[in-house]
Amino acid sequence: KREPALRRGNFVEVFSRDATYAFLRTLGDDRILVVLNGSDKPKTFTMPVRGRAWRSYQLDDLIGGGVTKPAGSDAAIEVQAFGARIVRVR
């Protein structure tokens, strides 16, 4: 309920392969990335963006709190087995 972009935002499929599914919901300037892991093993998700564009974004974890990926880093998103990560992209 706290994230209107998840309910009403535009939907863009970002990635679907090897039991990993990711999508982006956008509403105005609000962008939320959801990464789902359907595997029984942890997965590392790297955003499929060319060049260095991904480095400029910071990802804020909406479930556990804190920063998942600081701006300027190449860090990927770790998703536990049968888990999900929901992050705000800014």
Degrees, nearest 5: CA angle 3-90-20: 70
Looking at residue 87, its amino acid is: V
CA dihedral (51, 57, 63, 65) positive or negative: positive
Q: Which residues contact 11 (CB under 8 A, 6 or more apart)?
A: 23, 24, 25
Write down the residue that tokens 């600081």 correspond to: 70
Q: What are the chain's domains?
A: 4-89 (2.60.40.1180)
Query: pLDDT digit string (tens) for 45-57?
Result: 887 665 566 667 7
pLDDT tens per residue, range 46-88: 876 655 666 677 888 898 877 776 566 666 788 999 999 999 9
For residue 55, which phi and psi values (nearest 5 degrees)?
A: -65, -25
- On whether the CB atoms of residues 34 and 77 are closer than 8 A, the answer is no
| Cα distance between residue 35 and residue 83, in whole Å | 8
